Each structure stands twice: as C-alpha cells, then as structure tokens.
Structure 1
C-alpha cells in the first residue's frame, strides 16, 4: 500500500505542477490581450543628436486610434498616449518617455511597485509618478516638480507624487533614443513618467490614442475581438493589431495533451493500486473469519465484531498512505523541464496539496472498504455454526 500511495502521490504531484505551469504561462503571456498600435513616429529618432534643440514633446506612435472604435468592439480598453519629452543640449540628452494612462485599468495589465509616495488616481491633475532612474536623471525627489513642453508651446509643471522601485509595462514601445532605463540592456522602454490620460491629452493637445490594449472577456474570445478590430480599422493601414492567442494555443497544445496522458495514467494507477491493496486486505480479513465467527457466538453484534477489523484496516492503510506520501514528497525532484516544444512553458515544480492528500486517503479508505466487504457479506449470509465449521475444515 505504501508503494501504491507513493506512485499515485508522485504522479499527481507532477500533474498538479504541470497545471501550475500552464496557469503561470497564461498569467505571464496574457493571451487574452490584443495590442493595437499606430505606425512608429519617425520624428522620434530623426531629431538632432547634437547642438541645441528647444524642448518638445513628441508622440512615440502616430496618434491615429479613435477610442470610440475600440469601445465598439467589446472587451476592456486600456487606453494609452505614449509620448517622449525630448531635450537636447549640446552633447547631452535629458529625454523621458511619458505615458498617459488610466490608472485603474493599467494596473490590471502592468506591474507598478511604488517605493515612495503613491500611485496615480483617476481624478489626479498635473501630477506624475516616475521610476527612480528617471527621478535621478531629472534630479527630483518626492514632492518636487519638472516642466513638460505642451503642444501649444507652454510648459506644464508636473508634481511628483510617487517614485517606482520596479516597473513592468505590458507591451512597451521600442527604445530608440537615449533615455533613463531600469533595464539598460533591454531594447524596449523600461522606465518613464506616468500621468493620467486627461493630463497627457492636455500636454499633447489631442484625444486620439497612440496605442492601446484590448482585454477580451476570455482568451477564447480573442479571435472575434481581433476580427472586430480589423473591421473597425480597415481604412487605417497604419494601425497594427497584434494578438498572442494563436501562438499561445500552439505552445500549450502538446503540453495539454501530455498532461491529459499523465492524468489518465495517474487515474489508472490509482485504480489498480487501490484494487491491489483491497485484495491484500481481503486476504487478511479472510484469515480472520473464524475469529469474527467466534465473537458472534459469544454474543457480540456484527458491528462490534467488525470494529476491530475495520480499525486494524484503517490503521494499516493510513500508515501505508502516510509512508507512501512522505516517500513521494521526499524523492520527487523540486523542478524539471519538459522535453521538446513543451519546454517553452518553463520548468515543472511538483507540489503536494490538499487534493492529493484527499485522493491518497480516499484510496486507502476505499481499499479498506473493498477488502472488508466480502468478509462482512460472508458473515452476514451464513450462520455462526456454519462459519465455524467451514473455517475449521
């Protein structure tokens, strides 16, 4: 029984770890998100790299996205205005990426770790949250301010209300100009200044979006959302729509089939192991039938006679299940990689949880019940004298 419990627990630990890997991959890849962005603004990387240049604010992508068209498709629209505060003075740069966002929605898809102060609120005005690399480049602290050139040529002073320790922006723009970065080796923007969408519209002077994310109600709804977006922007060749659902589905297909195979093998193993243990317990109970018959002859009820046997069976099965579970937990590797294409989902971390404990205990109790049932039925159908005489032969 201990060997059977160890095999079943080990197989189920791998299955639970594989399910966790699939859930982790879905959480990281977010196949339910569709990216909508305009053509990259050539003026961003064509600005002079030396000499003196008056401060200006440029859109990273051309502002071609009408938000009403996005809302008509369905799903949750995470609107953005991605801008660049461009300042060149001699041979030095002081450039910052500025993102106009809706705080409540953006925090559902991106990660912001606030080290000091607070994050943006939907009703904020001319305030900003920036990462510590950008704050250091600007020379500002919490409560300080810095100017941003608006489209009308005037400067808007932004007050710093929060400084980020860590930033993981979902689908950031490519990094094409020298600017502070939390990840200097990354080819994508890893730092920046965040303001509310209303503030960025005041800076930019326009309400159209440069890029956006559309979160489908479920991953399976992505194809219909993409089709709706393509119809909505069919007259805008400079608007590009990118989805990950197809790639994610192909990536997890083999993994899901292998997981299903492991599940079937685990179920068959649990069944065979339980039947094998039940057969062993049946032999044990069959050898004790004469003792049960003697107890009945002495006046004990069938229930009282069976209590001792059931207790012994449960103790035996429980000890075997406990030993098997401990062996499985001790011998199972902490992590391992799946072969071939399935390795894209990362390593598998086998884990022991309450469900596995319930299955192992249930298998042990089922083995006791199946092992005891023939003996209990045999004694119930036969007389005490017949039982004693048959066992005595």
Structure 2
C-alpha cells in the first residue's frame, strides 16, 4: 500500500470465547486456538494484515490470563504493544485506550480495529477493502465500518442499515441495530440495504479519541490518564486503578449509535460492503458450517470430525472433536460433540449458541478448574 497513510492495526483479543468451551478456557481462549488450520486465530489475523502494516506497528489489547500465550504466538509484535486490561470493559474502553495511546505521538495515524477471531476467505479482496477504508478514514473526521451482506436472518449479529452512496462502493450509514429477533432479522434481509456488522472499524486516532471524549465524558479522562502514564514506572498502577472504573460498553453503543443519530449526511459514518468470505466463528455450529464449506462445498448432510478416524452409519450433520480417539456415529443427526482431557460437551448444532451458559453455571458452582 501507499506510504502516505500511517496505518496501525489494533487487534482486540480480550474475549473469553465461552461458546467454544470446553476447548476454550480463560487462559486459552478461542483466539489463541488453531480452530481453522495450524495457525491460531490471532496469528492468522496478524498474518493477513502483514501487507498493510509491519508487526512493529501493530497493537494487541488482551488480558493477563492470555498475555503470555499471545506474546509467545506473536513474538514479532513488540511486547510493550501487547496491552493487558486489568478488567474486562468491552470494546469501547479497549479501542479508546488504543486511540489515546497513539494520539499522543501520531494523531493522524489511521487505526484499524480487528477482532482476533475472524476467518477471511479472500484475503486479496480483504486487503483491497481495508486500503479503501484507510483512504476514507484519512480524508477527514470519518469512521468506516465493514459490513457483510447477510446470507440468512441471523439473530446473533448486529446489523447496519445503509443509505445513500458515498464514493465508489462506500455507502452512508443510517443506523446500527444490535442482535434483532428472528422476525426483524428476516425483515432486514428482505429489505436489501442491511449488512451484518463485522466488528471491523477504521478511523484516525484523533477521530476516535475525540468521539470517546464526546460520548463517554466520564471514561475519557481516565483513559487519557492511563495513556499519559504509558512507558513510565507508574503505568501498571494507574492502569489497574483507573481502567476498572471505565464504563463497560461496546464501541457500537458508545460511539457508533450516537453518531448515526446525527443523520447520515452529518454523522460521517460510512460502510464498505465486504465481499471477502467473512465468518466470525461465533459457535461450534459456525465452525461446522465453515469447515463443511472447505471440505465439500457445504453439503449439510455431511459430518465433520476431527478425530483419529471415524465411521458414520446413518448419521448426518454432526460435528465431532475428539482428536485422540476413533469415533463411530450411528443414527444421530446434527450433534456437536467436543472432548478434551477433562470435559465432554454434547449438544446440538441448534443449541450451540447456548454453550456459554455452561461456563456461567460452572462459575456459579465454583468449578474454576473447568473454566
């Protein structure tokens, strides 16, 4: 890409990945697992960004439980640019802190916010879309979100309603809607001008920092104080004291929804439709569908097994992870079976979004060794 834009990817890797229990645990969450190949999800995220920014320009926001693993997997990223949240505070404080840190020395730098656990099919198209987003973000007080054309009425994603064309393929954003019910999701898909919110955002450090100052006036001063302490002996103490006091809110609710309320002509919010094969692998069912697509073009009757051999007899649509054992499937349909050394999950693909409830119940029971 052109050297005219100073691009800094920010990889958000603080999630616990509870819907991928029992493989995903607090100290080994989804983003550091190799769910889709030999490289972990966060390694693949960094790999695909390499043509746009060197690892020395990348930042990672994570937590103390994952930091050692992430520093080991991303040993090309400077260790002091792996920032460990002392408390989980959702994406607005995480993204805002990155903006305040970088604004101090490079206010015009363009930041890209990338969740650490996405799968991208066409990386060439992905890079072209990001380059376009960088150009829009660098040209003013603009915010760009990548929107994915919906293929089904999915209730697990947020939606972006788009309006007038802007430049090229970009369109103006009318509003954001978080995770609708099935009836509304069906309406959105039928309308044709809605996109899934990919969670990938592009904006300058100054644009985001100013938006945090405007929309989170109580949190912004604390993030600025933390950023001011970065690189000093007081940093960890200031971070640990102030960050847990920051508002626990997503960047969508904190900044994007209030901006969209200004109206599409004035919000300077833009959507770039993404056509590069996006999947956020939000559940075992999503992983099954993704691997099915890779294996045989998506025959929903097929089984996906990661095992030491398998034998299906009148069985279809099952996902099984049991890497050390031979698996026989007889007369079962649409199951998810995941085995680790200390736990066994048995559910259906339909209920795989509910796996996080297991982690909550285990926590309530004090079974911390299993989470």
Give the TM-score range, shorter chain. under 0.3
More helix by percentage: 1
TM-score by length of 1: 0.24
TM-score by length of 2: 0.25
Give 1 or 2 for the bigger CA radius of gyration.
Answer: 1
Q: Higher relative contact order at CA 8 Å, sep ≥6: structure 1 or structure 2?
A: 1
